[in-house]
């Protein structure tokens, strides 16, 4: 089931219905020639909220964030950030936002402090305030003892923390982070999540994060919008989104022998709401009662004299939410986009 943006909008959580949203996007469209990268997206982000845009590469997340941060012109529709229209009052918007781009763009030849100081000057932060802000943000991202180090000597995780500090050095109200943990190892990723959570608590920052990591969206965001092919296909809190998928558990089963009849046999089990066929002999069974379905499944296999290679029961994850709303897996999409070879001339699509 796919929901239209209007349906999605009407199911917002109460936090998003505050009288003055920090970000309000109305029917925003971005077109490159005939290609529509963003197709009439609507959403609101409440003050102090961490809002996630989740979707595969090329879904339109970065285009959306670039329109909201005045980096690219809006084709049609409207985006209000901090009460200012991004088209009519771009400088007012720029003054109140902090932006962390996808790439690491701090100058490697400059020191940590010099990088921060130059950005503070670009925002015209007065000298005394500048020094105070630099000390504060360095403390917040745990880089105080590295303030004199050249950026090129820092690890990937530390450089990402410097980027975050750079985005905060002028004390913005709204913080945009475009895939803030891409390229980081799991330990650094968790450290960045903790840091962002602390920043939100201490500074009451509104954050808009784009990511293609389900776990990141799940752990960090108050609400998540799933974006696919330039459209917003679902919006809600992580719990709301998971509850919107039929079945509260996922049973993943692998049979020793592949058989076309497995899907219909599994669908016939009690409590099963959906069956997704994966690689050879592997099925994801969505069920409202995981333990009962597992028992039935084992009995079914034994009755047919078949052997189960593996069996696991999980709660519904954002992966399932993504599959439910887009009809495919986020991870598959990423792998395909990187490794899929172009079709041979004359080959069937």
Partner 1 sequence: MNRMFAIVEREMRKFFRSPVLMIMSMMLPIVQLIILGHALGGHVTGAHIAVVDEDQGPQAVKVKEAFQAVAVNIATFTTIPYADELSAREDVRTGKVDAAVIIPPQFSRRVYSSNAPRLALVVDNTDQITSGAIEGEMASLVQALNQPVIQDRVIKKVALEIVEIYPYVEYMKYLLAGSIALAMYISVMIGGGMLYIDDKARGVHEGYLVTPISKLELVMGLNIAGAIKAVLSGICLTVIGSLMAGLGVIFHPEALFNLFLLILGTSIAFNGMMFLMMVRVDDPLVPRAMFGVLNTLLFFPSGAISPIGQFPKWLQYLAIVDPFTYAIHGFKSILLKDGGFVSIQTDLAFLFIFGFGTLLIATPLFKRTL
Give the Å distances, CA to CA, from 138 to 15, 59, 116, 296.
31, 34, 9, 56
Q: Closer CB to partner 1, residue 102 or residue 254? A: 102
Q: Closer CB to partner 1, residue 150 or residue 317? A: 150
On the CB side of 29, CA atoms within 13 Å amount to 12
Residues 274-311: b if buried by 16+ CB within 10 A, e if exposed: bbbeeeebbbbbbbebbeebbebbeebbeeeeeeeeee
Cβ of residue 301: shortest distance to partner 1, in angstroms?
53
Q: Closer CB to partner 1, residue 105 or residue 198? A: 105
Return d(Cα 61, Cα 299) in angstroms, integer.
45
Q: Where along the sequence are the contacts to partner 1 (CB under 8 A)?
A: 66, 69-73, 91, 94-95, 97, 99, 101-103, 105, 107, 109-110, 114, 118-119, 121-124, 166
On the CB side of 218, CA atoms within 13 Å amount to 13
Cβ of residue 197: shortest distance to partner 1, in angstroms?
23
Q: Closer CB to partner 1, residue 101 or residue 238? A: 101
Cβ of residue 258: shortest distance to partner 1, in angstroms?
47
Return d(Cα 296, Cα 289) in angstroms, integer.
11
Cβ of residue 120: shortest distance to partner 1, in angstroms?
9
Cβ of residue 82: shortest distance to partner 1, in angstroms?
13
Cβ of residue 48: shortest distance to partner 1, in angstroms?
21
Q: Closer CB to partner 1, residue 124 or residue 279? A: 124
Q: Closer CB to partner 1, residue 102 or residue 288? A: 102
Contacts of 317 (CB under 8 A, 6+ apart): 214, 218, 242, 250
Return d(Cα 273, Cα 243) in angstroms, integer.
13
DSSP assignment letter at 218 = H
């Amino acid at each position: 089931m796919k929901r239209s943006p209007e349906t999605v909008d009407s199911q917002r959580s109460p936090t998003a219905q505050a009288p003055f949203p920090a970000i309000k996007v109305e029917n925003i469209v971005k077109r490159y020639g005939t290609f529509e990268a963003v197709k009439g997206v609507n959403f609101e982000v409440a003050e102090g909220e961490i809002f996630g845009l989740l979707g595969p590469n090329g879904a339109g997340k970065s285009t959306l964030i670039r329109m909201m941060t005045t980096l690219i012109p809006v084709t049609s529709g409207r985006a209000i950030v901090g009460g200012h229209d991004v088209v009519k009052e771009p400088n007012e918007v720029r003054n109140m936002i902090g932006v962390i781009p996808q790439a690491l763009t701090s100058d490697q030849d400059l020191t940590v402090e010099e990088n921060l100081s130059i950005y503070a000057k670009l925002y015209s932060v007065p000298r005394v305030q500048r020094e105070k802000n630099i000390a504060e943000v360095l403390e917040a991202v745990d880089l105080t003892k590295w303030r004199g180090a050249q950026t090129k000597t820092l690890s990937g995780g530390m450089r990402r923390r410097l980027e975050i500090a750079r985005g905060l050095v002028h004390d913005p109200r709204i913080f945009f982070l475009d895939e803030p943990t891409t390229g980081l190892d799991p330990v650094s990723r968790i450290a960045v999540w903790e840091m962002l959570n602390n920043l939100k608590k201490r500074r009451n920052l509104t954050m808009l994060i784009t990511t293609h990591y389900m776990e990141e969206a799940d752990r960090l965001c108050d609400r998540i919008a799933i974006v696919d092919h330039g459209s917003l296909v679902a919006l809600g809190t992580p719990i709301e989104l998971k509850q919107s998928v039929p079945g509260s558990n996922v049973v993943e089963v692998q049979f020793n022998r592949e058989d076309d009849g497995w899907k219909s046999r599994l669908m016939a089990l009690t409590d099963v709401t959906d069956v997704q066929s994966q690689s050879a002999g592997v099925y994801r069974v969505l069920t409202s009662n995981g333990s009962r379905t597992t028992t039935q499944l084992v009995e079914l296999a034994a009755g047919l004299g078949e052997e189960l290679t593996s069996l696991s029961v999980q709660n519904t994850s954002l992966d399932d939410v993504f599959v439910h709303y887009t009809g495919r897996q986020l991870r598959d999409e990423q792998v395909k986009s990187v490794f899929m070879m172009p079709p041979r001339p004359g080959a069937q699509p």
